A and B are shown apart, each in its own frame.
Chain A
Amino acid sequence: MSWKQRLVPYWLLGPGLLWLILFFVVPMYFMGELALRSGTLTTGYAFDWAWSNFPDSLSGHTEQIVRSFFYAGTATVLALLIAYPLAYAIAFRAGRYKALLLFAVIAPFFTTYLIRTIAWKTILSDSSPVVSVLQTLSLVPPDGRVLATSGAVIAGLTYNFLPFMVLPLYANLERLDLRLVEAAKDLYSSSTQAFLRVTLPLTLPGIVAGVLLTFIPAFGDYINAQILGGTGQAMIGNVIQSLYLTQRNYPEAAALSFLMMALILAVVTIYIRFAGTGAFMGDEEEAR
């Protein structure tokens, strides 16, 4: 390979990496820097190594952080349970309709996040037939409601992030070599055993990728809590949004965002150390 040819990948990568560095990495630096300032709108934000912003921002909002973990976690588990069979069906039983089904999975994106969530708000409103059905089924107390409860927020999160769970699962499942499952069966294992011991472990990278891609955005979400929730359902995303846009307490907002970012970075890095970034994208790392 000539010297010029060796440079080709760098030219190809250049614009993208530059864009990501300038508009993803660098802003993170600015956010960190803003977190170390203190002040108000009228006095300006002076840089004075205000390290106290970090623990302060956490201590004031532990309730929302814990709540966000709980909501996002539950939503992720639910999404996994719903998405796995769906992804499996699309990968192996869809035949000609595969692309169509995949489109149906992304289709909700085309109606904008807000409208979808508002539609759910209506479907789940106190006087809707859906809620009446749920009440007769005793899933909801007779004089209870669905909206403005944790349940509604979790349901919203599950729905809105389902595609993020389906797609990585599907990408991974598609590569599953069914002959391995056949072989297990030939060796006298039952279907359940074959699933647990062959399919599940082989698709684990896809599962973990899906879980990460669902849990993390759900953790920082605030729309579902705002539209479907009530008092007492606020998530950490709501807090950050309020701090930035309503209270204009930029230093505390930046500190909180930065901490959230650091936490996620830690989790993702640990995972990638173990599984390689290829696994994150649902396939094995190429050894070309």
Chain B
Amino acid sequence: MSASRTRKRRVPLTVAAVVAALSLVLGLAACGGDTVGGGGNSGEVTVAKSGPVKGQLTISNWPGYIDPGPNGTVAEFEKATGVSVDYIEDINSNDSFFGKLQPQLEQGESGGRSLFVVADYMAEQMHDLGYLQEIEHKDLPTVFENLQPDLRSPAFDPERKFSVPWQGGMTGIWVDTSKAPEIKSVNDLFDPKYKGKVTMLDELRETPALVMLAEGVDPAKASAEEWLAAIDRLSAAAESGQIRRFTGNDYTEDLTAGNIVAAIGWSGDASIIENDNAEWRMPTEGCVKWSENMVIPVGAPNTAAAIGWMNFTYRPEVAADITQFVEYISPVKGVKEILEKRGSDLAESEIVFPSEEFTRNCTGQNTPPELDRVNEAWQNVLTG
């Protein structure tokens, strides 16, 4: 055989494969729409179906929000209803959870989850994008019988159509009393003598809001400029090294290891922080009060069991169990009395059962005006 003939026959597989791949891709490009990955499903809203509570249930939640042990709430629920529960603690920040799940929610899928727990503003965002199912009040008798009055009609879901509160909490200052007992206000955190020994949360609606409160600005009514001013102050503190780090949940580590003297953090984290000198303080100017909500996403399998779970956790005894373990603020009436009867000193705690007086200066989790612009400025501070 002559060389040229054999050369022509040898079509390198590489070339063939590349051509095949490119045609596949071009074909897809032709089929795929111009706009991709966004837009949401707003328009039709699904209502979660109720029914007999059985089968399998997958729940996503934040870590440390329930007692997962053999005597914990999950086990109790399984025993009471026969449902087998897959409880996953894979939410560490509203944004990154949303980011991970968004492509699937966009397709109407929930990745197998029937229920998860996100903050107010995230629930609102998801609902606006059409990612959540609505739940009928008639299916949630225990919930609405026991729900605290001040949580029945929040601004983001006035009729409680798609969210049921899980736990609430406050964002304030954790202080290592053996090292910096005099810290009482967010302004104290900017004191140069604590340089490099202070951390703050990376949540837009918490850290800048606290800074605004400390300057006498009301975050609920602040303009975009005022938000940006607070962010600038934080940026300067970050650059000078005053703020050691911006953290998510992991400020607890630094407190435990003794790397910091104070941190902006959440009221219920006592069960996580292994530092007996650490104590949570309400800033003199007020805190950020927030709550997390159970929601049912689109594409959730076994919504009946999810609804059953919601009802179950609103039984006062069960809610008391949860509060005892988690040490956050319960949305259920009557928990304080039950804990008193059990002789738990949590019943006296202002952190778990804050009075109106205690939280008089607190604000909620407010979304700033001109969100994109403000958020971008904030993200720039976070990424150095």
Asked if A and B are interacting partners, one says yes
Question: Shortest distance in angstroms between B122's beta carbon and chain A's nearest beta carbon?
Answer: 12
Question: Shortest distance in angstroms between B4's beta carbon and chain A's nearest beta carbon?
Answer: 15
CA distance A14 to B34 in the complex (A): 33
Besides A14-B17, A245-B100, 14 new A-B residue pairs in contact (Cβ under 8 A), listed by A number: A6-B6, A18-B17, A21-B18, A25-B21, A41-B102, A46-B34, A67-B384, A127-B258, A229-B245, A242-B379, A242-B382, A242-B383, A244-B99, A247-B95
User: Is the C-beta of B311 less than 8 angstroms from some C-beta in chain A?
Assistant: no
Residue of A nearest to B257 (CB): A125
Chain B residues whose C-beta falls within 8 Å of the C-beta of A44 in the assembled complex: 35-39
Residue of A nearest to B97 (CB): A245
Question: Shortest distance in angstroms between A255's beta carbon and chain B's nearest beta carbon?
Answer: 15
CA distance A3 to B1 in the complex (A): 10
CA distance A145 to B195 in the complex (A): 12
User: Is the C-beta of A199 less than 8 angstroms from some C-beta in chain B?
Assistant: no
Given contacts A231-B243, A246-B99, contact A43 B39 (CB under 8 A): yes
- Tell me whether B383 and A238 are in contact (CB under 8 A): yes
Question: Shortest distance in angstroms between A269's beta carbon and chain B's nearest beta carbon?
Answer: 17
Chain B residues whose C-beta falls within 8 Å of the C-beta of A242 in the assembled complex: 379, 382-383
Chain A residues whose C-beta falls within 8 Å of the C-beta of B257 in the assembled complex: 122, 125-127
Interface positions of B from 235 to 249, Cβ below 8 Å from A = 238-239, 241, 243-246
- Tell me whether B40 and A42 are in contact (CB under 8 A): yes
Scoring A47, A61, A231 by chain B CB atoms within 10 A of each residue's CB, the highest score goes to A231
The 6 A-B pairs of least Cβ separation, nearest first, read A44-B38, A234-B384, A10-B13, A44-B35, A231-B238, A44-B39
- Tell me whether A231 and B384 are in contact (CB under 8 A): yes
User: Is the C-beta of B52 less than 8 angstroms from some C-beta in chain A?
Assistant: no
Question: Shortest distance in angstroms between B36's beta carbon and chain A's nearest beta carbon?
Answer: 6
CA distance A41 to B11 in the complex (A): 44
- Tell me whether B196 and A17 are in contact (CB under 8 A): no
Scoring A39, A122, A230, A248 by chain B CB atoms within 10 A of each residue's CB, the highest score goes to A230
CA distance A3 to B6 in the complex (A): 8
User: Is the C-beta of A148 less than 8 angstroms from some C-beta in chain B?
Assistant: yes
Chain B residues whose C-beta falls within 8 Å of the C-beta of A250 in the assembled complex: 37
Chain A residues whose C-beta falls within 8 Å of the C-beta of B17 in the assembled complex: 14, 17-18, 21
Question: Shortest distance in angstroms between B255's beta carbon and chain A's nearest beta carbon?
Answer: 12
- Sampled A-B contacts (5; CB under 8 Å): A45-B35, A229-B245, A231-B245, A231-B246, A246-B93
Given contacts A63-B384, A125-B257, A231-B243, contact A45 B13 (CB under 8 A): no
Given contacts A10-B13, A18-B17, contact A126 B259 (CB under 8 A): yes
- Tell me whether A17 and B243 are in contact (CB under 8 A): no
Residue of B nearest to A244 (CB): B99
Given contacts A42-B39, A60-B380, A63-B384, contact A29 B25 (CB under 8 A): yes
User: Is the C-beta of B9 less than 8 angstroms from some C-beta in chain A?
Assistant: yes
- Tell me whether B383 and A245 are in contact (CB under 8 A): no
User: Is the C-beta of A147 less than 8 angstroms from some C-beta in chain B?
Assistant: yes
Question: Shortest distance in angstroms between B153's beta carbon and chain A's nearest beta carbon?
Answer: 26
- Tell me whether A148 and B244 are in contact (CB under 8 A): yes
- Tell me whether A231 and B12 are in contact (CB under 8 A): no
- Tell me whether B13 and A148 are in contact (CB under 8 A): no
Interface string of A19-57 (1 = CB under 8 A from B): 001100110010001000101111111110000000000
Question: Shortest distance in angstroms between B20's beta carbon and chain A's nearest beta carbon?
Answer: 8
User: Is the C-beta of B104 less than 8 angstroms from some C-beta in chain A?
Assistant: no
Chain A residues whose C-beta falls within 8 Å of the C-beta of B128 in the assembled complex: 42
Interface positions of B from 315 to 344, Cβ below 8 Å from A = none
CA distance A222 to B383 in the complex (A): 11
User: Is the C-beta of B129 less than 8 angstroms from some C-beta in chain A?
Assistant: yes
User: Is the C-beta of A232 less than 8 angstroms from some C-beta in chain B?
Assistant: yes
Residue of B nearest to A63 (CB): B384
- Tell me whether A6 and B40 are in contact (CB under 8 A): no
- Tell me whether A245 and B99 are in contact (CB under 8 A): yes
- Tell me whether A125 and B245 are in contact (CB under 8 A): no
Chain B residues whose C-beta falls within 8 Å of the C-beta of A60 in the assembled complex: 380
Question: Shortest distance in angstroms between B194's beta carbon and chain A's nearest beta carbon?
Answer: 12
User: Is the C-beta of A13 less than 8 angstroms from some C-beta in chain B?
Assistant: yes
Residue of B nearest to A60 (CB): B380
Interface positions of B from 4 to 38, Cβ below 8 Å from A = 6, 9-10, 12-14, 17-18, 21, 25, 29, 34-38
Interface positions of B from 332 to 377, Cβ below 8 Å from A = 372, 375-376
CA distance A245 to B38 in the complex (A): 14
Residue of B nearest to A239 (CB): B383
- Tell me whether B38 and A234 are in contact (CB under 8 A): no
CA distance A140 to B382 in the complex (A): 26
CA distance A89 to B383 in the complex (A): 41
User: Is the C-beta of B96 less than 8 angstroms from some C-beta in chain A?
Assistant: yes
Chain B residues whose C-beta falls within 8 Å of the C-beta of A132 in the assembled complex: none
Given contacts A231-B246, A242-B379, contact A39 B38 (CB under 8 A): yes
